[in-house]
Amino acid sequence: IGIFRLSNRRFISRPAALYVEIFRNIPALVLIIFWAFAFPNILPAEARTAILFDNTITNGIAALTGLPVPYYALAVIIALTLNTSAYLAEIFRAGVGTIAQEHLDAARTLGASKLFVLGQILLPQGLRAAFPAISTRLVHNMKNTALAAFVSVPVFFHSINTSISRSFRALEFLMLAAIVYLILYFLFTSLLRWIESSMRRQPILKNG
Distance CA 59, CA 54 (A): 7
Using CA atoms, how far residue 122 sits from 3, 114, 129, 149, 195, in Å, is 9, 10, 10, 39, 18
Asked if residues 35 and 23 have their Cβ atoms less than 8 Å apart, the reply is no
Q: What is the DSSP letter of 72?
A: H
The chain-wide mean pLDDT, for the chain, equals 85
Determine the average pLDDT of the residues in 115-131: 83
Distance, CA of 157 to CA of 37 (rounded, Å)? 20
Rounded Cα gap, residues 35 and 84, in angstroms: 15
Mean pLDDT of 154-163: 81
- Assign 190 to helix, strand or coil: helix
Average pLDDT over residues 100-120: 77
As a whole number of angstroms, the distance between CA 125 and CA 199 comes to: 10
205: pLDDT confidence band, cut at 50, 70 and 90? Answer: low
Q: At what angle do helices 123-144 and 71-96 cross, to 10 degrees?
A: 140
Which pLDDT belongs to residue 208?
45
Q: How many CB atoms lie within 10 A of CB 178?
A: 11
